[in-house]
Structure 1
Amino acid sequence: MEKQGRKRIKLIAIDLDGSLLTSQNNITERTALAIKELISRGVIFVIATGRMFPSARKYALQFGPNTQVISYNGALVKSAAGELLLHRPIPLNLAKDVMSFLRERKWHVNSYIDDVLYVKELNQKALIYARNSDVTPQVAGDEIYNPKKEPTKLLVVANDPSQTEQIRDEIKLNFNGRLFVAISSPLYIDLGNPETSKGKAIKFLADRLGIERDEICVIGDSENDVEMFEAAGVSIAMGNAREDVKSKASFVTASNDEDGVAVAIEEIVIPRYL
C-alpha cells in the first residue's frame, strides 16, 4: 500500500556510531522502542556499520537474532545469529601493498581478519578503540604488515581530526580506485575491498528480499554512509553529521544525543511512509 503516492518503507538500515548510538555508546529506551514499533509493523531492521561484526552483534541482538548486520562497511553481512550472507575481503596482494604503504608513513592501522582485531602494539590508539568497540585486540607486532589471509577491513587512526581528510586523500591518490576509502569518524579512515560499501550491501540484501529502492530508508552521519543514502529512496542524516553528508540526505533529524533516530522514525518514517 502506498501513502499519497509514496512507496511504503519495508526496510530501514541505520548506522551505529554517531547515529543509533549516543556518545556514551548506548541505545536509548526511546530509540529502541521506536525501532521495535517499526519491526512490529513488518519493517525489516538492519544495522549498517563500519564496526567489526562482534562489536555490532550485541546491539543487533537487542532486536532479535534475525536482525541483519552489515559490518565492516558492507564487506561482511550476517544475521545477529551468525548466518553468513556475504563476505568481500581485501585481496591479499592488495592488502600487502596497502600495509607497506601505511608502514612507510608510520600510521596506526587496525587489521580485521576472521572477526579478530589485530594491532601492532597496545598503544593508546589501540586501547581507546578496543574500549569503545568492546573488543579484545590481538598484538601482532611487525607481522601485522605481512598478512597471511585476506583482511575483511583495514582502519587507519589519525592523530588529530585535522589530519583525517589529508590521510584519506593520500590513500585515495595512491590506490586510485583499487580500494574502498572513507572517513567513518573524526579520527578513522576505513579501507576495504573496492566492491565494498554500505550501499552495495543494502542493495544485496534488498535484492535477496525482493525490496525496491523506494522501499528502503537509511539513517547515518558520516562519509561512509553516503553510498547508503544513494541506495535508498529515503535518506536521513543525523543532526551531528558533517555538512557535506547532510547535503546529500532527503531529511535531517536531531543529533545522536537528542534521540535523532527516534525523532526520524516518529516524525518522518511512520507518518509519511507507513
Structure 2
Amino acid sequence: MTTLGAVFRPDNPPERLRDVVRAADDSGLEELWLWEDCFQEGAIATVAAALAWSERVRIGVGVLPVPLRSVALTAMEIATLERLFPGRAIWGIGHGVQDWMGQVGARVASPVTLLREYLDALRGLLAGERITVKGRYIHLDDVALDWPPVTAPPIFAAATGPRTLHLVGEAADGVILTSSTPADRIRAAVDVIRTARPETAARQPYPVIVYLAAATGPGAAERLAARLRADTGDPIPDVGVAGDAHAIADCVARWTEAGATSVILEPTADDPDPAAFVRFVAEQVRPLVP
C-alpha cells in the first residue's frame, strides 16, 4: 500500500503548526512532514512539539542538513525523542542546500564524503555502539549514548545526483526525493539504488519517499504554476498536480508505479489554509489511493 502524507511548509510561521498537527491527527493522516530550511524553523524543536501535540500521526523530518549539526548532537536528540515517542518519528538527513551551507560557514569540499561518514556514525550511535572514528569530517573519540533508543530507528537520506543516490542506497535505510523529481527520474533513482544494494533489492522494497507538489481549491492551477515557475522557470514541467482529489490521486498512482513507496503531498507556500490541506489529503485523497 502506498503511504500518503503531507508537508507543513516552514514558510508558515511556527505558531500555525499546532492547528495543522491536530488536523492531521484528527483526520487520520498517516504522515506529516516538517522541513529544516534555512533560515526558518528548526526541525528538532518543531518535531518535538508536533509529537507532543499528537497521538498517532507519524512526524517526518525531511531533512536535517548534516553540515549544520554535530553527529553526536543529532544522535542525542533523535535518541531522546525516540525514547519519549517510540516509533512516531521518521528521520531524514541530507547535504543541505549548498548556498545556505556557505552562508553559515558550513559548506564542505566533499558533501558526499561527509554524508557517508555521518550516516555510518549516526546509525552506529543510535544502535548503541561505542564509536571511535577519525574521518575526513567526522571525529569521535570513544563516544556512546547513555540513552540510546530501545530500537534504533531507520535513517533516510535525501539524494538527487547518481553519486549520492548510490551512497544512500548503500548506507541509508531509504531515500527521499524532492518534488522536482518526475516519474522517469524516480525510475532512474530506483535503478541506481538497486545496483547499490543488490543483496536486498530482490527481497524487500527499499523505501522511496517522494514529495509531490500539489494544489487544490480556488486558484490551484495558478498557484502551482507560479510555484513551479519560481523553482524551475517552467510553469508546466512533468512535476506537480493541481485539481480535485481524483486528479491528485491519479498523479500519486503514477508516482507509485514509477517506484515511490511513500508520496508526500507538498502544498504551495501560499496555500490559504494548511490545516484544511492536510484534512483534504487524509479525507478525500487517501480513500482514492490503493
TM-score, normalised with respect to structure 2: 0.36
TM-score, normalised with respect to structure 1: 0.37
